[in-house]
Amino acid sequence: VQLVESGGGSVQPGGSLRLSCAASQHMLNNYCMAWFRQAPGKAREGVAWIPIVGPASYADSVKGRFTVSQDRATRMLFLQMDNLKPEDTGTYYCAAQTSSSQCSAAVRDESVSMSTWGQGTQVTVSS
């Protein structure tokens, strides 16, 4: 197992959660890393991603509320989620891809896959 998520849970609207993803050092140095989410009955959505070279990017739906970061010393990828909304509910997945171009395509097109996926962690936002 190369990607393991943690940190999901249930929060009220307006609350915060921090998701973590344990990754191999090789991945953080050489792969595009991304967070996806999927709600029941809905398409997979790319939430945030860090290319091999360049700054992080975000889906419009989370821009200004979510922050993706990585700590290569501890081999961790994080997703800080603030001002959570009910529509943020879903299973969140950490994923990795060797190609930044395919990573960029995967976050926009559900038919494009990433090379490695975590098992997912549930986030529920409800009052």
- The alpha carbon of residue 45 and the mean position of all alpha carbons in its chain are separated, in whole angstroms, by 9
The yes-or-no verdict on residue 121 having pLDDT over 70 is yes
Residue identified by tokens 């070279």 is 53
Model pLDDT for residues 2-46, shown as the tens digit of each residue: 899 999 999 999 999 999 999 987 777 889 999 999 998 999 999
Q: Which amino acid is at 32?
A: C
Model pLDDT for residues 79-118, shown as the tens digit of each residue: 999 999 999 999 999 999 998 899 999 999 989 999 999 9
Span 64-87, average pLDDT: 95
Rounded to whole angstroms, how far apart are CA atoms 99 and 3? Answer: 17
DSSP label at residue 111: T
DSSP label at residue 61: T
Whole-number pLDDT of residue 78: 97
